[in-house]
Amino acid sequence: MREYNPLADIGTPSARAEEFFDNLHTIIHEDSDENEPEIVEHFKYEQELDKSLLSRSSIVGLGFGLMSPVLGMCTSMAIGLINGGPATIMWGFLISGICIWFCSLSLGEIVSKFPMEIHVGSAMLAPASLKLISSWYTGWLMLIGNWTMSTSITFAGAQLTISLILMNNNDLIKDPHLVLYTVIVFYLVVTIVGLINLKFARFIETINKVCVYWILYAVIFIDILLLIFHKGKYRSLKYALTHFDNSRSGYGNFVISFIIGFQQSNFTLQGFSMLPALADEVRVPEKDIPRGMSNAVLLSAFSGIISLLPIMIILPDMDTFIFYDGRVLPIVNIFTQSTDSVILSTLLVLLILGNLFFSGIGSITASSRSVYSFSRDHAIPGYDLWTFVKPESESKVPKNSILLSMLISYILGLLALFSTAAFNAFIGAAVLCLCSATCIPLVLVLFRRRRILKSAPVKIRYKLGWGINIFSICWLLLSMFSVCLPTRIPVTFKTMNYALVVYVVCLISITVLYFFWGKSNFRLPKADGQVAKYEMGSDVGGLSDEGGIQGAGFHTIGATISPEEDAPVYTVEPEEPKIVPFDVIRHDNNETVLLEDRNKIRTDNSSSVELSETDLQGTDDWGVPLSLTASPVGIGIYTKHGTQLDTIPPASHAEGSTGLNSDSKGLPHFLSTASPEETVFEQSESPVIIPDNPFDDGGTNNTSGSDDTRNGTS
């Protein structure tokens, strides 16, 4: 009998949901063609964080928590109610969900090609003269967007908590102290979710999976309880979907009111773009991050519609609650008037507040990883502090980055004590920053005519990529325009929307910091090269999950495959020596041999050959037989011997040893499937194209770089 493991089974229903959304996902996306290698860019960053911390289902849960449609739409309900009511809320959210899904698909392509935080993608996509500044603005806008979005999520939860308290005791908090108590609750929430990130990071995977359960079950329970215990008149489905009244906004134009209504959905769903910062903690980020983003948006859009429809059906007369008590959020007044029960209304609010726990944890996780990722390129003063990770730490999280993200939230929360208009402006600026940061790499992709995405593991199907990319940019610009509009007119000093002012100040600050710090300290992400992946299940030139190289913290130099050439060309950056992993072995007919483990060799025809004790007598530090490190035709591997990087020439092979004899092409006979005369690899007239030894230090240790060897003659 199988032993019960609750952690192993916790993702079963969510896995079914993920499979459903993956099927929908394939309408737009496709994996690379079987005959076309998947090309993924790898970078020269030492792997310090836990690469297996988050699975794809956990990414979906974290993204679902960041967007949390129940918490986001309920706490910002006043925007939609004033600017049209049910029609604006329902159709605005549906349209936003579809459009933001397209945005997640467009961004997902870039993350699939460059699986890092998106400032890295901007650097790789931009022309040489614009790489530094494109990456700088993308990174800082994304970082500010992360910080302000994290603050908005936790502050919205604090406001809902205060509304719950006032619903149970209206006299407990006096008007002059309302903002103070809200800030105190906000500080408490930030501290709790921050401590969980600091002390219980090993449970983040489980927390993210539970998040999906909580939000979905909360939606179901809220819907059922509202429909069963509603005391008033039920609205028709037609009313819930088509009733439009913007008279309370002061706008005579219904189009403007409808566009303003998008603010509510944008505040809720824009968090998808925060997910690429987690690429360092996902085993297969080039696939899990793009699919996790798009699936999280689909799940949020679906659950949001399901949660909003019953609320519109039981909606009381808006004049009786929308301006009834400015201290209490409209959603709380809707619950109390609908159910006529404080106890039941308290339960409904608590179900929503449960989302705050997951959303707050996820927002600190995402914003701290954005700090960590950007600091590795020396973008933030004190970068060594923000990238520090204790090697002996069990959780392996950037604790200083978490503390910095908490500190920024504390500082922004203080603004509410002095001016609620100023604080709300920062919340609006969160959407502006995230949208503009997402726009930059999308524009650069179009500038490159999408050719660079051709071999990405996840990409948009057929010719739809152009249309979806252009549409995504247009939607992001419309979202930015929407967020800048005041929700009501005429405006006063207190009701004016200052989001654009804050955004401009952020741009000016980023520019000033660039000239005083960025130009001399910020450095471009350094790529190791494009890594080709094949269907046989192992990465050619990629990091091996089973080998020793990943554990040693080395990154790879991959083979860039050109469709016009039969032979690969190893691309090496000359600035500093690199190690080409031992699983890169190429013969001149483009066959590939991959080391499966210390004692086996796997060939392209899937045959495995055991190596004898004698075969393994001459090995390097990684346990690779010396007979595989060089050959007369230049089939070789750069390996590590102690502290010296070099190549092993054919002369170093022990003559007469079993398995060390080579065929006419220099390939050891033990790779043959039959007799020494029959080899897996056929003769070819095409020479292998291999560059000079990249570790050549002037001839000291380069013993295999003769012209004859490189030209394939023996």
Position 109 scores a pLDDT of 92
Contact 417, 469 (CB under 8 A): no
Tens of pLDDT along 398-457? 999 999 999 999 999 998 888 777 788 888 899 999 999 999 999 999 998 888 887 788
CA–CA separation, 530 vs 536, rounded Å? Answer: 18
For the chain, give every residue range classified as CATH 1.20.1740.10.
6-521
At 45, the amino acid letter reads: Y
Contact 204, 172 (CB under 8 A): no
Position 422 scores a pLDDT of 78
Residue 62 predicted with pLDDT over 80 = yes
Tell me: domain 6-521, CATH 3.40.50.720, correct? no
Position 346 scores a pLDDT of 93
Position 17 scores a pLDDT of 52
Q: Tokens 């406001």 map to which residue?
A: 159
CA–CA separation, 49 vs 298, rounded Å? Answer: 29
Q: What is the mean pLDDT of residues 170-199?
A: 90
Position 26 scores a pLDDT of 53
Tell me the pTM.
Answer: 0.71
Complete DSSP assignment for 487-542: SSSS--TTT---HHHHHHHHHHHHHHHIIIIIHHH--PPPEEEEEEE-TTSSEETS
Residue with the bigger pLDDT between 40 and 14: it is: 40
CA–CA separation, 648 vs 639, rounded Å? Answer: 8
Residue 304 predicted with pLDDT over 90 = yes
Residue 540 predicted with pLDDT over 70 = no
Residue with the bigger pLDDT between 456 and 95: it is: 95
Residue with the bigger pLDDT between 366 and 28: it is: 366
Residue 685 predicted with pLDDT over 60 = no
Position 617 scores a pLDDT of 42
Residue 176 predicted with pLDDT over 50 = yes
Beta bridge partners of 42: 529
Residue 236 predicted with pLDDT over 70 = yes
CA–CA separation, 665 vs 676, rounded Å? Answer: 12
CA–CA separation, 270 vs 432, rounded Å? Answer: 10
Pairing of strands 600-603, 593-597: antiparallel
| Positive/negative CA dihedral, 633, 634, 640, 646 | positive
CA–CA separation, 506 vs 179, rounded Å? Answer: 25
- Count of CA atoms in the C-beta half-sphere (13 A) of 291: 26
Contact 498, 421 (CB under 8 A): yes
CA–CA separation, 618 vs 629, rounded Å? Answer: 11
Position 29 scores a pLDDT of 55
Residue 572 predicted with pLDDT over 70 = no
DSSP code at position 272 = G
CA–CA separation, 185 vs 37, rounded Å? Answer: 52
Tens of pLDDT along 542-553? 222 322 222 222
Task: Give phi and psi for 664, each to the nearest 5.
Answer: -65, -15
Residue 182 predicted with pLDDT over 80 = yes
Residue 385 predicted with pLDDT over 70 = yes
Residue with the bigger pLDDT between 572 and 152: it is: 152
Residue 643 predicted with pLDDT over 60 = no
**Max mean pLDDT range (36-45, 200-209, 236-245):** 236-245
Residue 132 predicted with pLDDT over 60 = yes
Residue 241 predicted with pLDDT over 90 = yes
